[in-house]
Amino acid sequence: MNGRNTKIELLGSAPIPKALLALGLPTMIGMLINALYNLADSYFVGGLGTDQMGAVTVAFPLGQIVVGLGLLFGNGAAAYLSRLLGRGDKDTANKVASTAVYSSIFIGAIAIFCMVVFLKPILSRFGAIESVMPDAIAYSSIYITFSIFNVFNVTMNNIVSSEGAAKTAMFALMMGAVLNVILDPVLIYALNFGVTGAAIATAISQIVSTLVYLCYIFRKKSIFHFRVRECSFSKKIMSEILKIGIPTLVFQLLTSFSIGMTDNAAKELGGSALAAMGPFTKIMSMGSLVVFGFLKGFQPIAGFSYGAKKFDRLRDAMKTSILWSTVFCAIFGFAAAIFSEEIMAFFTKGDTEMIRVGSLALRANGMTFILFGFYTVYSFLFLVMGKAKEGSILGACRQGICLIPLILILPRFFGLNGVLFAQPIADVISAVVTVWMAVHLHKELAAYKSKFLPAAAASVDRESIY
């Protein structure tokens, strides 16, 4: 009981810096380690050759689709769960958590089956050239089949984070990541399994993370109950989950398709350009995952504060999150740009063209990555407040509405530069859209605050966070 009270205290009354660090730092560390083991895959596979690196590169978007299925129910439920905890509605929260977990497993199994059946044409659309296809199929068939465990892991990661148990989420991610790094060289080189070994290592790691979450559930450490009989597909619960989950899934699908489209455009420039997209994408994803991990701490605080009508606390959480995430993005982006050649050389035996293309991509994208924290805080905020329409637009902006037209048009006129500069241009446009939407949101919050707080305490603070 004391552990549960501590979680509620963090969400509702602890100082914002303390709460953000307690809830966000463990998940951030876990996601950072998770991103590092994705890079470890690229590093160890890179030692096999350019075609093998290309095989792992074209499989990466498929993994992002699987993550999206977990986010569909996990993130959708997490936003609602935070608000329910703020209102003190425990019974509904149990139903939402149970519904999300079992629904994600069922839908995930169907989607994974379809991907495995149509694996070859999907890989071809994501950029797999003839020399890459055999290894891509060998890797992806295992990687995708066992990703059903990752659907469960992603769903649980969001639900566990929503109740303030960030250390459990971190431990689950860390266990899988560390094990993957250990198994990669053993299975790829010592046992001579090649790219198949990398897929097996990832599968085992995901199973171990699942076991961590199952222990958490069966030892009754969670605020929530996860029972089949608690599942409820009522209109209210499903609409609350899906109105946030669907925009999140759309965002993840757009991310996957944009990566696939970038890979597909790069393959026209040769195998080295395609191979360069693998480590480049995972390096930038590492920065993105750190921000997402940190903001997993912001998300339950924002949802709880909004549900409990603690508007000053919500504002403070926003200001602090934007400042901290922007500082990190600036450091990460500039480091990626400055050390771009050294970073790319780490993933190849000496393919100079791969290094050239990858380092140019890192320099271009690193310089605009400073905008990512600001954009993502508001993307999370709209969703956690239940504003599905605004969250959908903002979530789809950077990876879809802006990027997809650019990646279709720019390469036709600017070749390689068109491929590499599409995302930075999309970043700038998305930041401008975010500013415009943020101004309207703050006006709405000010009006909402004056409506619900007593007149004596309702001096509306219209202070800008900029």
Can you read off the two tokens belonging to residue 48?
A: 């096999």
pLDDT tier, 4 (very low <50, low <70, confident <90, very high otherwise): low
- At residue 457, the pLDDT reads 46
**Of all helices (H) and strands (E), which one includes residue 378?**
helix 372-384
- Compute the CA torsion angle 370, 357, 61, 392 (nearest 10 deg): 30
Question: Do 42 and 285 form a contact (C-beta atoms < 8 A)?
Answer: no
Provide the pLDDT for residue 456. Answer: 35
Better pLDDT: 394 or 12: 394
Token pair in block for residue 104: 């994600």
Asked if residue 166 has pLDDT above 50, the reply is: yes
pLDDT recorded at residue 14: 77
pLDDT tens-place string over residues 379-403: 888 877 777 778 778 877 887 788 8
Segment 83-107, tens digit of pLDDT: 787 777 888 888 999 999 999 999 9
Q: In the prediction, which pLDDT does 382 show?
A: 85
Residue pLDDT, tens place only, 252-278: 787 777 777 777 777 766 777 877 887
* The pLDDT of residue 466 is above 50: no
Most confident of 166-170, 185-189, 245-249: 185-189
Q: For the chain, which residues make up each domain, given as ranges?
A: 2-455
Tokens of 347: 């993933």
Q: Which pTM value belongs to this model?
A: 0.69
Distance CA 327, CA 291 (A): 11
Looking at residues 128-153, what average pLDDT do you find?
89
CA 435 centroid distance within chain: 22
At residue 142 the predicted structure's pLDDT band, cuts being 50, 70 and 90, is very high
- Is 20:163 a contact under the CB 8 Å cutoff? no
- Residue matched to tokens 């990027």: 403
Residue 108's pLDDT is 92
Q: Which two tokens stand for residue 367?
A: 């310089």
pLDDT for position 294: 83
Residue 318, token pair as written in the block: 């926003």
Contacts of 379 (CB under 8 A, 6+ apart): 251, 391, 394, 395, 434
Roughly how many angstroms between the first and final C-alpha of the chain, as a whole number? 40
Q: What is the pLDDT of residues 312-338, one digit of tens each?
A: 888 888 899 999 999 999 999 999 999
Q: Give the angle 66-365-354 at the CA atoms, nearest 5°.
A: 80
Give me the chain's average pLDDT, please.
82
Q: Which pLDDT value is given to residue 10?
A: 66
pLDDT at position 370: 92
User: Which residue, 368, 366, 370, is CA-closest to 339?
Assistant: 366
- pLDDT given at position 465: 40
DSSP notation for 238-286: HHHHHHHHHHHHHHHHHHHHHHHHHHHHHHTT-HHHHHHHHHHHHHHHH
pLDDT at 210: 94
Question: Which pLDDT score is estimated for 173?
Answer: 81
pLDDT band at 454 (very low <50, low <70, confident <90, very high): low
pLDDT at residue 455 in the model = 44
Of 320, 377, 438, 372, which Cα lies nearest the Cα of 20?
320
